[in-house]
Structure formats: structure tokens, C-alpha cells
Structure 1
Amino acid sequence: MRQYNFFTYILTNYNKKVLYTGVTNDLNKRLYEHYFGVDQKESFTSKYKCYYLVWFERHQYIDHAIEREKEIKGWTRSKKLKLIEQENPNWSFLNQQIMEWPPLL
């Protein structure tokens, strides 16, 4: 049986003041798109410079990843902070675990 990878993830800006929750099937590519504004020039992540990965979770099925994204988006900020701090207590930027950071042109 084929193994699929879908990801629910949380990004923040450099000052860690803004949180963005998303879903993708290619985390490396999606981080690149956020960083270079490939998604849209007027997107939330471009506007607030949310390029830094602080949490992610792998799912085998897209519907599970989307369900989790919706769940997290419905949470209060404090609940999101607790989720991040359980897995990443130092708020390390995890981009380097996924790709060369910062991305090169």
C-alpha cells in the first residue's frame, strides 16, 4: 500500500507574534512558496512575513490533515501556543529540518 504524506503546519514571523496554520502535501515546496510569495503577493503570510516553521504534523490522508487544520484554526491563541510549546519548547525555526534555509533562488 502506498504511503502518502500530508502536513498540517504552523508558521510564525520573526518576532513570533503572528501565527498561520496551513496544510500541504509538500512541506518543502510550500515553505518555499510562502517565503517567496509564490502563493499570492497579498497573502496573509506575505503581509505578516510568516515564513518560519514552528510546528508540523504528518498525516497519511488529506482529509485528516484538513480536519486538523480546521480544528487548530478554531482554537484560541493560547491553545495554539501550548501545542507548539509541547513539541518545540524553544520555538526553534524548523525550516532547516525541511529545506535549506533561507531558500536560494
Structure 2
Amino acid sequence: ASGVDTDRVPVCVEEGDSVTLHTDVKTNQKDRIKWFSNDNRIAQIAKELNTSCTDVQCNEGNDGFRDRLKLDHQTGSLTITNIRATDSGLYKLQIINSGS
């Protein structure tokens, strides 16, 4: 059975601080992990292809998070450094299971 988990976790952070958005899930070597900010993809890991991207690499020309994203390849957690007021909004995590 395939489903969509829509848990929302409110997070408050002061400008200039850092925040880590945790996945709290176990991923396997074939999962694809994508992070979105207000429906724009900002980070991705494709484990089976051994590739990843953040911000500018994922979004041609969109550099709102330039050099401020760190993606944990083991857990898929996303860290945003030097928080700005413009970073506020809804962040979504998508995990695609590419095999068993």
C-alpha cells in the first residue's frame, strides 16, 4: 500500500541561526530523497545514482539558499544555516522508494 504522510511540525528559528529538518525515517540505498520549500525543489539525493544537489544545482537560477544548505546523505536530514526571514514557509520532504 502506498500513502502520503502529511505530518506537519512547526519550527521557529531566529534570524542568523541554523535549523535541521529531520526525516525521522529509515531510508535504504535505493531511495530518492527530495526537499521542497514552498513547492520549489531545494535539495535532492538519488542514492542509487550516487548523486545529490542543493539549491542552485537543483534549481537553475534559483539561489535563495546559496551555500546555506547541508544535506545528510545517511539520514536525508536538511540543515539550513544563517536563517533569513525569506526562508519562512512550508518545507516538504518526499521519499521515493526505488526498489526493495
What is the TM-score when the length of structure 2 is the normalising length? 0.27
Considering fraction of residues, name the structure with more helix: 1
- Larger relative contact order, structure 1 or 2 (CA cutoff 8 Å, min sep 6): 2
Considering fraction of residues, name the structure with more strand: 2
